[in-house]
Structure 1
Amino acid sequence: MKTKHILQNLAMVFTMALFFQCKNNFKEVQQIGVLQNEPVGIADHINLKYTDSGKITANLISPKMLDYSNMDFGYFEFPEGIRLILFDKDQNQTVVTSDYAVNYIEKNLIDLRGNVVLATYNKDTLFTEQLYYNEKLEWIFTDKPFRMRSTTQNTLGLHLDSDIDFKDIQILGMNDSDFQIEN
């Protein structure tokens, strides 16, 4: 009887020692089965709608999305391009398309590449090979050659920095422009 009691106590001490040696490895457990540099998720035919106070602020459409949010610097990759529709407070639409895109989650930055076209509701259109969009600031910029077409002008340049509506715009390194000046 005494031997049985000693064995039960030893088993209990051993079990308690195991519990105290456990540590929180949740991040490591999440990585089990995920190869280095592999996405944690793949989505096909996505149509994401972002809302604020019951109004749609953006609609992201893409044939494929790869989720790399498990990385130290998490991001979403859109290898087959995107169509991004942005809505202002009056629900006017600005449409951005590209052949490829990466959304850097922590930086609120989207890197758009390949045949990038941004068309505003008031008929301004920007064409370039790469464009960055800061979601939080609603700001765009590029250091690639671009063409901007509007109802009153056609501009070719090398660097553009602007708000999404082209109301506060800086163009550096203009190549060629046609302006129509009133009066």
Structure 2
Amino acid sequence: MAMLFFCCTDNYKRVGEEAQKKVYPRGIAENSVLTYSELIEPLEGEDTKPAKNIAVLRSPIAYNYENLVFPYRLFPEGLEVDFFDERGEKNKVRADYGIVYSATNLIDLQGNVVLETPDGKKLETPQLYYDQDNQWVFTQEVFKFTNPEDGTIMDGKGMDFNKNLSFLSAHKTYGLMSIKEK
């Protein structure tokens, strides 16, 4: 009898896709709207005080993998984010796919990423990263940056800039661009 059980053990070593462990999200949200806000003044006891909105994130579906060793949130069907600057003006970001890495505070947006500012500036690229800790935005992909104030359209590959677009560094630019002399 022991010989029968010994012969029937599974000694097959799994590799590739078979070896991958199944990972399940902690939660799934459909048609989610997340509002990030912060208090203007600290609360004392059970006070209620006004808060200001920092960002509003909308997504058709969101997966929460915060239960993993390297936690993240996944937005496989795209997302839209309205984030507000110090003056309360709304900036918009849209992407076909997004991942928010909680451990590193890095946001990875992919597929038809469009960033629009209240003054009409527009950035279009296939992938864009946002480092929340340093408030720095960057891409190594091709981009198109439209600035209606100057009437310019800049095409290039690779750029990085700060959150409010007051500092912008394009790595490689090409195409026609008009520059006004002062």
Q: Specify the alignment match of 1:170 in structure 2.
A: 169
Give SS of 1:132's match.
strand
Q: Quote the offset at 1:182 in angstroms.
A: 4.3
> Which consecutive residues of structure 1, in runs of 5 or more, have no partner in the other structure?
1-34
Distance in 2 (CA, whole Å) between partners of 1:127 and 1:115 is 7
Distance in 2 (CA, whole Å) between partners of 1:154 and 1:165 is 19
Distance in 2 (CA, whole Å) between partners of 1:89 and 1:166 is 13
Q: Specify the alignment match of 1:44 in structure 2.
A: 30
Structure (1 or 2) with the larger CA radius of gyration: 1
Give SS of 1:123's match.
coil
Distance in 2 (CA, whole Å) between partners of 1:94 and 1:163 is 13
Q: Quote the offset at 1:38 in angstroms.
A: 1.6
| Higher relative helix content | 1
Give the alignment partner of residue 93 of structure 2, picking from 93, 96, 101.
96
Give SS of 2:22's match.
coil
Q: Quote the offset at 1:36 in angstroms.
A: 2.8
Q: Specify the alignment match of 1:32 in structure 2.
A: none
Distance in 1 (CA, whole Å) between partners of 2:82 and 2:178 is 28
Deviating above 6 A after TM superposition, structure 1's stretches of 4 or more consecutive aligned residues are none
Q: Specify the alignment match of 2:154 in structure 1.
A: 155
Code of the residue aligned with 2:94 in structure 1: it is T
- The one-character-per-residue Cα deviations of 1:119-151 (angstroms, maximum 9, x if unpaired) are 011111000000001223221100000000011
TM-score (norm 1): 0.78
Tell me how large the CA RMSD over aligned residues is: 1.3
Code of the residue aligned with 1:97 in structure 2: it is R
Q: Specify the alignment match of 1:15 in structure 2.
A: none
Q: Quote the offset at 1:178 in angstroms.
A: 1.3
Give the alignment partner of residue 114 of structure 1, picking from 108, 111, 115.
111
- The one-character-per-residue Cα deviations of 1:58-105 (angstroms, maximum 9, x if unpaired) are 010101000111111100000010001110111011100000000001
Q: Quote the offset at 1:168 in angstroms.
A: 0.7
Q: Specify the alignment match of 1:11 in structure 2.
A: none
Distance in 2 (CA, whole Å) between partners of 1:56 and 1:138 is 17
Q: Specify the alignment match of 1:7 in structure 2.
A: none
> Which consecutive residues of structure 2, in runs of 5 or more, have no partner in the other structure?
1-20, 40-50
Q: Quote the offset at 1:106 in angstroms.
A: 1.3
Q: Specify the alignment match of 2:43 in structure 1.
A: none
Q: Specify the alignment match of 2:4 in structure 1.
A: none
Calculate percent identity across the aligned residue pairs. Answer: 33
Contact kept in structure 1, 2:85 and 2:164, CA below 8 Å: no
Q: Specify the alignment match of 2:142 in structure 1.
A: 145
